Amino acid sequence: MSTERTPEPDDLSAAASQLRISTFRLARRMRTQRAVDSMSDGQFAVLAALWVHGPHTLGELAERERVSAPSMNRTVNCLQDSGYISRSADENDGRKVVIALTDEGSRVVDETARRRDAWVESALAGLTAKERATMARAAEIMQRMVTL
């Protein structure tokens, strides 16, 4: 039996706590659906950022992921050693290095996204049509929340 309580509509504190816990659990469960089990969440986040936003410099990646440049350098080195990213000189500024996904890095992102989508689809299949509609609306609301 669950010890969590359903918050009253006007109890923002309880609602916030319940949403935080549920979102964390869902995210944790989805993170287990990876193409490469040994890859850290931080490493995958870098691959995903490159996949979505294109090539970046080390500083841009560090800023995007909100980590220090030395920390990002360690992550990038590991990803490069594994063949998931490449480094090349910036065409406009030879002092800068541009980091980009390799074909293998793209494959990892594509396969991880496919696995995560399949897991979510399977989970949604176990819900009623009304619950799926509620989840679709919740996804819209959550997307709006993250852009506030």
Q: Domain spans of the chain? A: 12-146
pLDDT digits (tens, 9 = 90+) for 42-66: 999 999 999 999 999 999 999 999 9
Specify the DSSP class assigned to residue 8: P
Query: pTM value?
Result: 0.80
Could you say which residues of the chain have pLDDT below 50? none
CB of 72 within 8 A of CB of 79?
Answer: no
Tell me how crowded residue 85 is: count the other CB atoms within 10 A of its CB. Answer: 24
pLDDT score, position 39: 93
What gap in Å lies between CA 18 and CA 36, rounded to an integer?
A: 31
Is 12-146 CATH 1.10.10.10?
Answer: yes
Q: What is the mean pLDDT of the chain?
A: 92
pLDDT score, position 7: 56
pLDDT score, position 3: 57
